[in-house]
Each structure stands twice: as C-alpha cells, then as structure tokens.
Amino acid sequence: MRLLDWIVLLGTLGFIVIYGVWKTRGSKDIEGYLKGDNSMKWWTIGLSIMATQASAITFLSTPGQAYEDGMRFVQFYFGLPIAMVIISITVIPIFYRLKVYTAYEYLESRFDLKTRSLAALLFLVQRGLAAGITIYAPAIILSTILGWNLTLTNLFIGVLVIVYTVSGGTKAVSVTQKQQMAVMMGGMLVAGFMVVRYLPESVSFGDAVAVAGKMGKMNVVDFSFDWNDRYNFWSGMTGGLFLALSYFGTDQSQVARYLGGKSVGESRLGLLFNGLLKIPMQFIILFIGVMVFVFYQFNQPPLFFNESAKDKVYATEFAPEMEALEEQHTALFNQKQEAVHGLVAALRTDDETAIAAAQAEVQGITDASKVVRNDVKALIAKATPDAETKDTDYVFISFVMKYLPAGLVGLLLAVIFSAAMSSTASELNALASTTVVDIYKRSVKKEKDNFHYLRASRVFTAAWGALAIIFATYASLLDNLIQAVNIIGSIFYGTILGIFLVAFYVRYIKGHAVFIAALMAEAVVLYCHFYTDIAFLWFNVIGCVAVVVFGVIIQFFIGQKDDRTYA
C-alpha cells in the first residue's frame, strides 16, 4: 500500500468515527442511547438498514460470486421488497403502539416473561457468535492479501466500532452508517467505472456486456423450477421472503434501526426505501463482478486468486507440479485471447453461425481452464491440507490491489472496513440493548434509575465488543468456522421466527403453549442437527413450522384458559 492509500483509508475511517462520536455526544438517558430519542428521519433509517445488512463479505464475496456464477444471485433478494411491505403493515404499528425498545419486549405483552426471555437468550447466543465472524471474515482476507497481522486487523476493526458505539449508542450507529453507505456505494461505483475503463480500447461497454452474456454471466432471472438450484425466481420469492421476514422482523440488529424512527411513517419509509433500492444495489455489485470477469478475458488472471495460498505450495515438494499448472494456465490464456477477440468480432456482425462458432471455441478453452483451476485447488489441498481452496472471496480485492491506482486502493479498503464496521456496530448495539432491556433491567436489577441503565448499556456494548474481538482472534483455530456459525444461527433462527410468527398471526396460541412449543421445536432442531443428515438451512424452516404446529396442538390440550390480552 502506498502513502496516499493510507491517507485515504485512515482519513475516511477517522472522519467517520470522530464525526459519529461528536455528533451523538452527551446521551443522557437510556431512551436516547437505545432508541436515539426517536428522532431518526426515514433516509437515515433506510441507509442504516442497508448498511447493517451489507457486511464486508457482501463487498468481498458478491463480485467474486458473479465472477464465478454470473448475475443470478440477485434473485435471492426478490422476496425482500414484499417482506418490507408486510413488516410495514403489520409489525411496525404494533412495536410503536407498545413503545418497545426491543423486538423481544413485545413478546411479554403478547405472551409472557418466560417466552420473551427465551427468545432474547436465543438471539444473544446466535448474534454474539455472528459479531465475531463479522469482524473475522474480512480481517482474514485483508490480512492474507495485505500481509497485515490478523490479530491487529481484528483489533483495529473492533476497537474503532466500540469507540463510537459505546459513546453514542444507536444514534451513533445510524449517523455513521449514513457516511459508511456513501463511502461503500461511492467506492463501488468508482471501481465499476475503472474496470470498464481498463477494458481494451477496441472493446466497448456494449461488447463487454455481450461477451459476458455469451459466457453465461448475464443469467439474471431463471423461471425454471428446480429444488436443487439454490438461486432461481421461485427460491428467491419464497426462501428470500422467509429469510427477509425473519431478519428484518425479529432480529434486533435490524429492528433497532427502525425503532429509532421519528414516527411510524418515518420507520415505514425507511424500510420501503430499502425495499426499493436493495435489489438495484445488489445488481450493481454483481455487475461489477461480471465486468471484472470480462476484464480477465483480456488480461491474464492469477492462476489462484488467493496468491498467498498458492505461494505456500511453492515452498513444498509440490512446487514443480504448480509450475506446470502455471504454464498450462498461461498457454490457455494466450489461446483464449484470440478466441475472445474473435467472439467480439462475431458479435458485431450479428451472424448467428459465426457467433455460435466463436462462443463454442471460447467455451471450450474456458472449460479447459476450469480443469486446470480444479487441479490447482486439489494440489493446494494436498500440499497444505489446512488451506482454504475457495478463492472467489479474493477475486475483487485481488483486482483492486493489482490494478487500481494509488488513492483508490485506500478508498476501496475504506469500503470494506466501513461495511465491517457498520454491521458490527448494529450487532453490538442490538446485543447490548437486548441484554439490558430484556434480561438485566427486566429480571436482574429491576428498580434502578435511568442513569444506571444508561451506564449498564455502555458497559454491555463494550463487553460484547470485547467478546467479539476475542472470538474473532481465536476464530482461526477452528475449522470451517463460518459454516459452524451459520449452523448455530440456523439452529436458533427458526425457533425465534416461529415464536414471532405465532405472536403476530396465530392469535389462538397463548403464552404457555408457545413457550413449550418453542422448547420442543428447539429439541427437534437439535435432534435433526445431531442425528440426521438434513442440510442446516432447513433447520430454519423446521424450527419455525414446529413452533406453530406444536403450539396449536398444545393450546388445544391446554384449552383457552390463558386470558392475557393481545397487542
């Protein structure tokens, strides 16, 4: 990294942190600290919601995903706008009427204390682990690419977030997220512009998109139905809707964003703003990945984008094999150059026969290159068994580091750090508010003054931040850690969603029934995890459906004796 990059990176992050602390200084009570005095306007809420969802991995992985698999990942977000409308109509008015600080607080008025505490505890376990990964995942990639110390990178991200989140609470999170979103989108648009500019002079933007299309990367929508296909229109509209409802409706890191709104209307507009812009935003990020793919049709890509993993093989007895694969890779690229230019020329003629012939030639070489890349992955796994053989997360950052000029590298790194910080800040804020409001204030220290709970909120924010850093620091000691955390999340998420689904839509079921149903559902999910081969993503559905089904059965046997009033 050059001096200008350091200035841009540290200047951008420093400004955001100092601005966040200064702008939100002097929170005097828990209302201001955890709900931002209900002063947030809709654009702040909307940007804050988008920044919370967009973690560093979004900006590192998504372009890589498009490079490998094309645009079709955008379909995953098709259910999100529908979820925003449903939550705006049903969830927001209830939360506002009850003046809740957390989503789980609502469960006490709808059911009882034990159900509220259970949901809060399930959230704390799941989100507490996720906060560590939100820091660790970008830190491991950045430290690998830049040669930085992993522990220091973890500490750098974690401490910056703790500074302004402890100081200004939820308002600081939302205020800084506005700047972070501006940096993220500005940086990505500049990167997109640069990658198109770096295409050969003889290749226009239209040629680039046409080449991407002929190489299967412009596959944005697929209406065919296939259970085994992860991303198509149907899975996006159903699974995407289901996930968005649970994430935006029951996860405190998102609920806190819109609970800080000035009014129901501001909160609704914030969510609808996300519903309007989320898909175009993901489309742009994916499209940048596709343009990086086209760029590498005219410029030789690395044999393996995580070059540090490849270099480690050169230090072993397998070095000659790696050298041979490098030679094959270069030869295939040189061969491909002619074929790709031939495809561009054919596309300009509109001659379908010529286009099909050129496309087949390019495809043949691409398939051969894939075989070489798979051989490289197998060799890396053989030579260094602990190494990660998936390199798509390194595609975009590798392009940034190698081709962007001084200053822009710093800006793109600021994008990644901003994304890591924005989602971590929301998580720490949500963890602290749930700990204080749903556990500490409700069940541990009930009769303290406002200042006591404000101080407790700050202490818990710092404590959760420290825990996240510690978890991120030791994360590398575990194998497949990201998958492990996803599994843990799926184990709890379904049950939490089931409880909320019953709370909002199944009025027949009451407190005792839903509590027992939630415990039974959790037991079923745990049984599935330990004793079956069911894929962990299904745990979300199983947990949710089990809560509803068990709830109905148990309520039937208990009878309608519970006379708790509904919200």
Which residues form the interface with other proteins (CB under 8 A)?
Answer: 71, 74, 78, 81-82, 84-85, 88-89, 92-93, 96-97, 209-210, 212-214, 216, 218-223, 233, 263-265, 268-269, 272, 275-276, 279-280, 283
Asked if residue 252 lies in contact with residue 127, where contact means CB atoms within 8 angstroms, the answer is yes
Question: In whole angstroms, how close is the CB of 44 to other proteins at the nearest point?
Answer: 15
Nearer to other proteins, 263 or 349 (CB): 263
Tokens standing for residue 65 = 């995903």
Question: In whole angstroms, how close is the CB of 96 to other proteins at the nearest point?
Answer: 6
Question: In whole angstroms, how close is the CB of 301 to other proteins at the nearest point?
Answer: 22
The CA distance from 279 to 283, in Å, is: 6
Give whole-number Cα distances, 6 to 102, 115, 348, 406, 414, in Å: 39, 49, 44, 9, 10
Nearer to other proteins, 121 or 220 (CB): 220
Query: Across-strand partners of 261?
Result: 40
Nearer to other proteins, 121 or 264 (CB): 264
Match 């205020």 to its residue by tokens.
175
Question: In whole angstroms, how close is the CB of 75 to other proteins at the nearest point?
Answer: 8
Question: In whole angstroms, how close is the CB of 185 to other proteins at the nearest point?
Answer: 18
Nearer to other proteins, 214 or 257 (CB): 214
Question: In whole angstroms, how close is the CB of 275 to other proteins at the nearest point?
Answer: 4
Nearer to other proteins, 129 or 212 (CB): 212
- Cα dihedral value 339, 342, 343, 344, nearest 10: 130
Max distance between CA atoms of the chain, in angstroms, equals 80
The CA distance from 295 to 102, in Å, is: 47
The CA distance from 35 to 92, in Å, is: 14
Question: Integer distance in angstroms from the first to the last C-alpha of the chain?
Answer: 56
Nearer to other proteins, 158 or 275 (CB): 275
Nearer to other proteins, 120 or 346 (CB): 346
Asked if residue 165 lies in contact with residue 173, where contact means CB atoms within 8 angstroms, the answer is yes
Tokens standing for residue 549 = 């089904």
Q: Which residues contact 133 (CB under 8 A, 6 or more apart)?
A: 471, 472, 475, 481, 482, 485
Question: In whole angstroms, how close is the CB of 355 to other proteins at the nearest point?
Answer: 12
Asked if residue 73 lies in contact with residue 65, where contact means CB atoms within 8 angstroms, the answer is yes
- Cα dihedral value 297, 303, 306, 307, nearest 10: -120
Nearer to other proteins, 346 or 428 (CB): 346
Question: In whole angstroms, how close is the CB of 281 to other proteins at the nearest point?
Answer: 11
